[in-house]
Chain A
Amino acid sequence: MFATGNHAVAYGVKAARAEVIAAYPITPQTQIIEKLSEFIEKGEMGAKFLRVESEHSAMAACIGASACGARAFTATSSQGLLYMSEMVFWAGLGSFPVVMAVVTRTLAPPWSIWNEHTDILSQRDAGWITIMCGSVQEAYDTAIQAFRIAEDRRVRQPVMFGLDAFSLSHTSERLDLIGQEGADAYLPAPEGHWRVVDVQEPATYGNLVGPERMMEIRYSVKRRVDDSAGVIEEAASEFSRISGRAQTGLVEEYRTSDAEVILAVVGASSGDAKDAADLLRDKGIRAGVARLRVIRPFPAERLGAALRGCRTVAVVDMDYSFGYGGIIGREVASVTGIRPFNYIAGIGGRDLGVRDFAGIARDALRRGESGDERREIWWGMKDSQPSL
C-alpha cells in the first residue's frame, strides 16, 4: 500500500494493539490520532481513546494507564510537546513504558509548522529512549518496535520516535505491513509486569524521597536507558527476521567504510544525503552517510566506529542550542573525540536537498584541507554569511 508517515504510525500502533490512547491535536501530527480514532470507532481496534483537553493531560492519562499495566500511546509535536514536558519527565523519571510519536516541528515564535528537530531534542534529558525515523516504512516498523523496547524487562522506559514534519508525516511512500499475526508474534500482549498501581498489592508510588535514596533511583533509570541500546538492536534484528526487511538499529551506515567525508545526519533527510553521497562518488569524491537512528541512548560506540578513519565529518543539525551550537554536532564531538564541521541547516523547514548535502560535503572537505578552524556553519542563509 501507499501511506503517509502519519498513517504508517497509526497502522503500527494498531498492529501493536495499544490499549489506551490519549491525545490532543496539533499540526502536523493530527492525522495520526484521527486515523487511530477512526480505527477505534469502526471497531477495528479495541483501545480506549481519551480525547483529552491538552497535551499535559494526554501524557498524564498515558502515565495513569501505564501505571496500571496498560499499553499506552500518544502523539504530539512542537508546542504540544513543550506543553506536555512536565509529564514527559514524569514518564521518563518514573519509568513508565509509554510510547509517543513526535512529529518534529519548529517552535514558536514566530509561528511555523515546518520541520526542525529542536522540539524533540529539548526533551533529551527526560529519560526517554529517543529514535528518529528515516522513512515512512521505518515509521511503521519503529512504532511496533517501540512498544517492544519500552516494555522489555531490562528497559521499562518510555520511547519516543520522531518523524520529520511534512517531509515524512505527510509524504506518501510505499508501505508494507507485517499483518496482525506477525505483529502478535513479535509483540506479545502486555504482561503489565511494570504495573505499579494495583489494589491487590497496595503501594504508594511517587511519594517524597530524600537525598539518601534519590541517586540510586536515578541510577536505575540511567542503567535502563543505557542498557536499552542492546535491546534496541535486538528489537531491530528480530523485526528484520519477521518482516524480511533490513532494519536499522542504532546507526545506519551508508558507504562509510572507505569514505573520506561522512555526512552525519538525523531523520528523513538522510535519503537525500545518501543520494548526495552517490552523486559525489560518481565525481570521484568518496562520500558516505552515517544516520543516527537513536539519539538516546546516544550510540557513542557505534557512531565512533562508523566515523573512525574518516578525515572529514560534517554533522548536519536541524536544531540549535543557543549559546552552544548544533546539538547533535556537539554531542558527536563530545563522545567521539572527532571535531566535526557542524552545519546548521533546514531550520524552520528551509529546503535541504541532495544538492545541499553534496555542497555541504564538498564544503567540509575544503575546510578540512585548508585547516579552517571555524566549526559552525549556518548553511543556506539568504544573507551573506557573516565571517567569524
Chain B
Amino acid sequence: MGNEGFTAFTLKSLTDEEYYLPGNAACPGCAAVMALRIGLKVLGPRTIVVVPACCMSVVQGYYPKTPSKVPIFNTAFAASAATAAGIRAALDIKGIRDVNVVCWAGDGGTADIGIQSLSGAAERGDDLIYVCYDNEAYMNTGTQRSGSTPEGARTTTTITGKSERKKDVPGIMMAHRIPYVATACTSYPIDFANKLRRAASIKGTRYIHLLSPCPPGWRYPAEKTVEVGKLAVETGAWILYEWFGGRCRLTGPSTGLAERSKRRPLEQYLEIQGRFSNADPSKIAEMRRRIDEEWERILGLCHD
C-alpha cells in the first residue's frame, strides 16, 4: 500500500510554533481544540480554516480577539464545505496554489445539517480537507443528540439513551470514492498528525473523522480527556483506520485489536463517562454487537 515515500511523523517533527494560542474560550479538557492546535502545527501558516456554527465558533473567542494565527472564516451551520469550495475557487482564479483550505466542523454540522454541502463538494472533488471533530452530540447548544451520537448515549433530547445507532460518516465519505478518508482520535495526536499530513499531500476532497471527547457533554472530569479517548480506542469502540488509494488499513493501537480478546472490556469505556449511566446489560450487549459488526466491516475493507 502507498506508504512508500511517506516517512512517519514523530513528536519531534511537530513544530514548536503555536498557531492556536492558549487563552482561547474552550472548556478545560476540550479534545476538539487540542486537535486543532496539533492540526495547525501540521498544516502550517498557509492554511485557511472554515468553521460552521459549533463549539469552535465560541472557542475562537470574542470579536475583536482571536486565538488563531491563521485566518478563520466563519460560515453558517450547513455551509462549511460549500464555503470552502468557494474559497478554493477564488484561490485558483488568483493563482494561489499552496494554501490548505480546511473545514473544521462538528459532527452535527457534518453528519446532519451539513452533509449536503459536504457530499456535493466530495462528488465534485473540490480541493479541500474536511475535519469533522466528533464529540458525538450538539455541544454548542447544550448536548442534544446528533446523527453521530452513539446508541445508548444520554443527551438532553435522548434522556434515556439514544435508541438509534451512530451514523457512519466515514463510510458515507468512502462511498463518494474521494481520495482520502481516515478516522482519528485526539488521544493519539501523532496518528492524527500523520493522517493530516498525508491528507495535505493529496489533492481533491479529503476527509478525517476525529473522535473528540468532551468533558461536559460526556460527563467526565476535564483531566480525563486523553484517558477517555484512549479507552474508546482500546476497547474497540472507536477504530483507527486510513483509507486511500481504494484500500484500508488499521493504524495506531487499532492495528493490534482486530482480535476481540485483545481489546479491553467495553464497560471500562462506558463507566468512565456519565452519558452511558443508563445503559443496562442488554443495552451494553447491543452496543458490543454493533462494535463487532463495525470491526468486521472495517477488517473486510482492509483485506480487499
Interfacial residues, chain A to chain B (CB-CB below 8 A): 19-20, 22, 46-48, 50-54, 56-58, 60-70, 72, 86-87, 90, 192, 196-199, 202-210, 213
Contacts and interface: CB of A to CB of B under 8 A. Distances in A.
B169 interface: no
A208 B69 contact: no
**Residue with the greatest number of chain B CB neighbours at <10 A, chosen from A20, A22, A51, A58:** A20
B82 A64 contact: yes
B94 A197 contact: no
Query: Dominant SS at the B interface?
Result: mixed
Given A60-B75, A60-B82, A208-B58, A67 B120 contact: no
A215 B119 CA distance: 37
B85 A61 contact: yes
Interface string B86-128: 1111111110000100000000000000001101100110100
Contacts of B86: 20, 22, 50, 60-68, 72
A73 to B, nearest CB: 12
24 contacts: A50-B85, A54-B120, A56-B78, A57-B81, A57-B85, A61-B86, A63-B83, A64-B75, A64-B87, A65-B86, A66-B90, A67-B73, A68-B86, A69-B94, A70-B90, A90-B75, A192-B94, A197-B71, A198-B71, A199-B71, A202-B45, A205-B71, A208-B60, A209-B62
**Residue with the greatest number of chain B CB neighbours at <10 A, chosen from A51, A61, A90, A205:** A61
A207 B91 CA distance: 22
A63 B94 contact: no
A61 B82 contact: yes
**Residue with the greatest number of chain B CB neighbours at <10 A, chosen from A53, A60, A207:** A207
Given A61-B82, A207-B66, A209-B63, A70 B89 contact: yes
B93 A203 contact: no
Contacts of B88: 64
Nearest to A54: B116
A213 B62 CA distance: 11
Nearest to B58: A208
B57 A208 contact: yes
Interface stretch (B46-54, B150-158, B183-191): B46-54
Interface of B: 45-48, 50, 57-58, 60-64, 66, 68-76, 78-79, 81-94, 99, 116-117, 119-120, 123-124, 126
Contacts of A50: 85-86, 89, 124, 126
Given A61-B83, A64-B84, A206 B75 contact: yes
Given A64-B90, A68-B91, A213-B63, A57 B120 contact: yes
Contacts of A197: 48, 71, 73, 87
B165 to A, nearest CB: 26
Contacts of B116: 53-54, 56-57
Q: Which 9 A-B pairs have the closest CB atoms?
A: A64-B86, A53-B120, A206-B74, A61-B86, A57-B82, A68-B90, A70-B90, A60-B79, A204-B66
A68 B83 CA distance: 11
**Residue with the greatest number of chain A CB neighbours at <10 A, chosen from B85, B88, B91, B99:** B85
A203 B82 CA distance: 20
A196 B73 contact: yes
A158 to B, nearest CB: 14
A48 B94 CA distance: 11
A87 B83 CA distance: 10
Given A64-B73, A64-B83, A202-B68, A207 B93 contact: no
